[in-house]
Amino acid sequence: MTGSDLQAPSRLAFVGLGALGLPMAANLHRAGFPLQVHTRSRTAEMDPFLHQTGSATTQACPSPADAVQGCQALVLCVSDDAAVEDVLWGDNGAGRALMEGSLVIDCSTISPATSQRMAERLAERGVGYLDTPVTGGTEGAKAGTLTVLCGGSDADLNRAMPVLETIGGSIHHFGPVGSGQQVKAVNQVLVAGSYAAVAEAIALGQHLQLPMQQVVDALQHGAAGSWALEHRSGAMLSDHYPLGFKLSLHHKDLSIALEAAKNAGLELPITRAVHAQEQNLMDAGLGDADVSALRRHLPDA
């Protein structure tokens, strides 16, 4: 099967219509992929999405097994290891229903070991697997400019490229299955440090009674500039945290990174500190807020 086999009119299954998955699916629809979709927890946005795309090109399915019927590829974008396991191998899972020669493109962020285990089980059925976690937030998902971090064979990557080029602005291949997840762990360590640093900088400036929007404007194009400063300082200044990426999911991702570091005999003190801060915020009921809610861990001015 070649990359062209994944283009319309071949149908594409998509499971997971959350904050990232929904705009990714919308971009695939706009690119001409007929979709069979399933979401584990129905969102308020799903009905307008299905109404907009129309039943002729997008079909809602009651289970992952139903979603993959007649499809040559399945895109996954779910919350964690347990969700991937359930979608593929739980009751009415897709794993046993996927046709031989098809491909799973897993955009979820999970542990490298789980990715490798999923690939091995699917290979027994003649199904390929790529771990393709993404980064870029809801902004990147809506714009189709996500960075896609890939692990898997060259052949499977080539087959998936029409899909990946639709959801992502840049696609990077790092090696065998699991390597994409390893790079995503590195990414989340960087995100942890940058968000925490912006939160502390905002808190300091506010306590010094500085004109903080002016400060941000002055600093974001210099050596202190970062994606977090540019895109999340406004949320921290207003103390309002609309969802870009759930704090609870980032906390899960940091757990994966810390486990990888432990296995490598490495201590990550900054990451561990942010992990603890996130746990405190989750205990305070902020697990569904954006990661920029880390500002709440510091006192107001």
> In the prediction, which pLDDT does 55 show?
56
Number of domains making up the chain: 2
Range of the domain at 31: 3-175
On whether both 226 and 104 belong to a single domain, the answer is no
Domain edge (last residue) among 129, 151, 175: 175
pLDDT of 7 higher than 80 = no
Residue type, 203: A
On whether both 255 and 289 belong to a single domain, the answer is yes
CB of 129 within 8 A of CB of 123? yes
CATH number of the CATH domain containing 262: 1.10.1040.10
End-to-end CA distance of the chain: 60
Main-chain phi, psi angles of 273, to 5 degrees: -65, -45
Q: What pTM was computed for the model?
A: 0.92
On whether both 145 and 61 belong to a single domain, the answer is yes
> In the prediction, which pLDDT does 61 show?
93
> In the prediction, which pLDDT does 301 show?
86
On whether both 204 and 156 belong to a single domain, the answer is no
Q: Which of 7-16, 108-117, 168-177, 282-291 has the lowest mean pLDDT?
A: 7-16
Cβ neighbours, 10 Å, residue 285? 8
- Kindly list the strands in the beta sheet with 134-135, ordered across the sheet, starting from the edge strand earlier in the chain: 134-135, 146-150, 168-173
On whether both 123 and 206 belong to a single domain, the answer is no
Section 46-75 average pLDDT = 82
- The better pLDDT of the pair 62, 8 is held by 62
Which sequence positions are flagged as catalytic? 184
Section 198-222 average pLDDT = 97
Q: What DSSP state is assigned to residue 151?
A: B
> In the prediction, which pLDDT does 43 show?
56
pLDDT digits over 254-280, tens only? 999 999 999 999 999 999 999 999 999
On whether both 274 and 189 belong to a single domain, the answer is yes
Cβ neighbours, 10 Å, residue 261? 16
On whether both 11 and 151 belong to a single domain, the answer is yes
How many whole angstroms separate alpha carbon 196 and alpha carbon 141? 23
On whether both 275 and 145 belong to a single domain, the answer is no
> In the prediction, which pLDDT does 2 show?
39
Whether the link from the prior residue into 9 is cis, omega within 30° of 0, is: yes
Domain edge (last residue) among 175, 201, 232: 175
Altogether, the residues listed in the chain come to a count of 301
